[in-house]
């Protein structure tokens, strides 16, 4: 008989770009008895998920569901169902995930124009307007609301006005924002919005909320050629999630349970209260960083409260600091992606991980490690600044 190592994953304080910590209720939900994917009780749970998703996304859209897979599956479902060969697409790119949207649109056969911004700045609506006018007959304008790679929040409303003035649909990536900062799908005039479960919703990765406006759904249903993704074909998925209950795939039962419980927790807390909690904790962390002597990367005024990028001081070793945080304090944070690799740390305060205790624990822990690396971090000042912000409403 072959022996195997004991299965005993360590407990971590998850303060990276995702996943975030999960509420015990969510984890318990995943241990509930499995049901068949067409069991009447499971279908009732799916219906409740749809109703709660509409509340959390702030939408009345009939087509609102969760695709199987991580947040990237939501991105791919939105892009591949809306973009046909030859469609003109304008994508705002201010980081890694805006570029991913652009690449997906190209794989779908779209003629893509990128509107690039520095990795640390939001997409400029005026530049989007110029690109849309130059492209002519644009079908889709796409943007990332909360760019996970840079910690930047790009305002949606100005770009929505540009898109709709040109008769284009608007796609918004809300993977990092949903449940942590205001997401207003209908008020924005967004035609496709998708997210993920593993960030501010605080469930394990595995399904991706997505909603489509009547205009977007009409575009999907009148495609001249079928979507080039079968698994994420929204017409097939919708036929399973709506009253038809047409078989499409075996749903990830336990992940739907987790989504259900995570959404219930969001609504029990209250969206406005949840947004305020993330705002308070995120700004406290940022003020603590600056008082400690560190430099924030994202432009002031556009910094996400749920994900902060802080520049790595000169002479400090990225991997040694992250390794020490993990080994000594069991704290996980993220390194930089793409152009920001080895230049920034990405520190998340999302969902269950967004707490005053985690703010103060992290500042104290990283401050000591930075001093060992030769950086004169003023730990007391950082903690005092953070505590002062945490005391405010």
The 10s digit of each residue's pLDDT in 5-55 is 888 999 999 999 999 999 999 999 999 999 999 999 999 999 999 999 999
Once rounded to an integer, what is the mean pLDDT over residues 356-361?
98
364 and 330 fall within a common domain: yes
Domain boundary among 268, 289, 305: 268
Pairwise CA distance, residues 201 & 391, whole Å: 25
pLDDT for res 393:
84
207 and 64 fall within a common domain: yes
For residues 25-39, one letter each, b for 16 or more C-beta atoms within 10 angstroms of the residue's C-beta and e for the rest, the string is ebeebbeeeebebee
Domain contains 9: no
201 and 69 fall within a common domain: yes
pLDDT tens digits, one per residue of 250-288? 999 999 999 999 999 999 999 999 999 999 999 999 999
148 and 228 fall within a common domain: yes
Pairwise CA distance, residues 233 & 68, whole Å: 11
pLDDT for res 1:
60
| φ, ψ dihedrals at 287, nearest 5° | -65, -35
102 and 186 fall within a common domain: yes
* Residue 140 in this model has a pLDDT that exceeds 70: yes
Q: Into how many domains does the chain fold?
A: 2
191 and 327 fall within a common domain: no
Domain boundary among 268, 301, 327: 268
The CATH number covering residue 284 comes to 3.90.1150.10
311 and 194 fall within a common domain: no
Domain contains 80: yes
pLDDT tens digits, one per residue of 53-86? 999 999 999 999 999 999 999 999 999 999 999 9
Domain contains 57: yes
pLDDT for res 3:
76
Is pTM, for the whole model, over 0.85? yes
Structural domain that includes position 350: 270-390
pLDDT tens digits, one per residue of 336-352? 999 899 999 999 999 99
Domain contains 101: yes
pLDDT tens digits, one per residue of 212-229? 999 999 999 999 999 999
Domain contains 33: yes
Domain contains 332: yes
Domain contains 385: yes
Radius of gyration of the chain from its Cα atoms, rounded to whole angstroms? 21
Q: Which of 246, 191, 177 is nearest to 219 (CA)?
A: 191
243 and 97 fall within a common domain: yes
Domain contains 296: yes
The CATH number covering residue 41 comes to 3.40.640.10
Pairwise CA distance, residues 180 & 229, whole Å: 30
86 and 208 fall within a common domain: yes
Domain boundary among 268, 297, 318: 268
253 and 342 fall within a common domain: no
216 and 78 fall within a common domain: yes
261 and 163 fall within a common domain: yes
């Amino acid at each position: 008989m072959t022996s195997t190592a004991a299965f005993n994953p360590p407990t971590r304080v998850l303060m990276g770009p995702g996943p975030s910590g999960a509420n015990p209720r969510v984890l318990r939900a995943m241990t509930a008895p499995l049901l068949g994917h067409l069991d009447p009780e499971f279908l009732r749970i799916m219906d409740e998920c749809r109703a709660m998703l509409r509340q959390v996304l702030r939408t009345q859209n009939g087509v609102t569901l969760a695709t199987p897979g991580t947040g990237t599956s939501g991105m791919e479902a939105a892009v591949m169902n809306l973009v046909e060969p030859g469609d003109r697409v304008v994508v705002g790119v201010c980081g890694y995930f805006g570029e991913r949207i652009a690449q997906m649109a190209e794989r779908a056969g779209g003629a893509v124009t990128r509107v690039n911004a520095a990795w640390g700045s939001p997409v400029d609506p005026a530049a989007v307007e110029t690109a849309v006018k130059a492209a002519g007959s644009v079908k889709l304008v796409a943007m990332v609301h909360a760019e996970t790679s840079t910690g930047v929040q790009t305002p949606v409303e100005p770009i929505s006005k540009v898109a709709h003035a040109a008769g284009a649909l608007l796609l918004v990536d809300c993977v990092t924002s949903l449940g942590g900062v205001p997401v207003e799908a209908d008020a924005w005039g967004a035609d496709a919005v998708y997210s993920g479960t593993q960030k501010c919703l605080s469930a394990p990765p595995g399904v991706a909320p997505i909603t489509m406006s009547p205009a977007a759904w009409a575009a999907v249903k009148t495609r001249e050629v079928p979507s080039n993704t079968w698994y994420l074909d929204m017409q097939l998925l919708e036929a399973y999630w709506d009253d038809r209950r047409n078989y499409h795939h075996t749903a990830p039962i336990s992940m739907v349970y987790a989504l259900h419980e995570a959404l219930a927790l969001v609504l029990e807390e209250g969206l406005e209260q949840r947004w305020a909690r993330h705002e308070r904790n995120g700004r406290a962390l940022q003020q603590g960083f600056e008082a400690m002597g560190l430099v924030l990367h994202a432009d002031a005024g556009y910094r996400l409260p749920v994900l902060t990028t802080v520049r790595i001081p000169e002479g400090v070793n990225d991997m040694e600091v992250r390794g020490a945080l993990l080994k000594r304090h069991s704290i996980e944070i993220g390194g930089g992606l793409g152009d920001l690799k080895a230049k920034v740390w990405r520190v998340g305060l999302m969902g269950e991980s967004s707490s005053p205790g985690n703010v103060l624990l992290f500042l104290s822990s990283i401050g000591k490690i930075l001093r060992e690396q030769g950086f004169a971090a003023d730990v007391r000042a950082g903690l005092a600044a953070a505590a002062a912000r945490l005391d405010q409403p």
